[in-house]
Structure 1
């Protein structure tokens, strides 16, 4: 985005783009459970995932699969309920499920889980595809991408 706006951009990657943590994580794309300070950025980022093919030329195998946070006691449900109330103010949605409805929907979770909160708009992607695709898109927009380039020091001259 910066390169598209005419800003000189250089990306330095110690190994290959996507080879470190951004490429070997579980690929979670979630707003659910984020601290309030992170929620505006998480919501903005989540909207970007819907446009991934147009932005980077790859869908990254993004799947909207939902994200479930579990509760093992009533106090956990209270925390999930408080988060959902806070998140509504930022446009995030989280549905609380407990009791018999929870058991019917998630019978395999066992008795330790008494309920949970589901954010249906969250999902996951393939980080092995997404990270390199972002780097390739940055190159197409004019950014300089330096892979296998470890920075030991950087100076800023204003």
Structure 2
């Protein structure tokens, strides 16, 4: 096996078959949070750390931000689909075992664009968890290229639901 971050499953299976995300909150230093996602389990480790778990197939947005005495040093958002035990995945810090990464954006100006787009999807009456995975890939590609992503409309969402129904 190579050192590539994408792996085929050869590790022992996860006992609960869920994807676990470690969240940390140290005010004005480290902030990890979930912007959207259907949480299956929430375990508080201590006053600064929690483990959030997602069932296979769940889509969630994971935001990471860090600062030092001089300001923001890192900001990132990942939109991830939790994988089943038999599926390949890409590793991601603080996410066990990893997931199918639909979008990954770094830098606060671009992260804030993604957050605004998530708000727009919500505003269109669609839960961002239910939006088409291809749409999040589209948003990633457009923002990475310095372009505006297309709006996710109810019409696009209905087309996605029909496609998903046909693909079974």
Scaled by the length of structure 2, what TM-score is found?
0.19
**Higher-helix-fraction structure:** 1
**Higher-strand-fraction structure:** 2
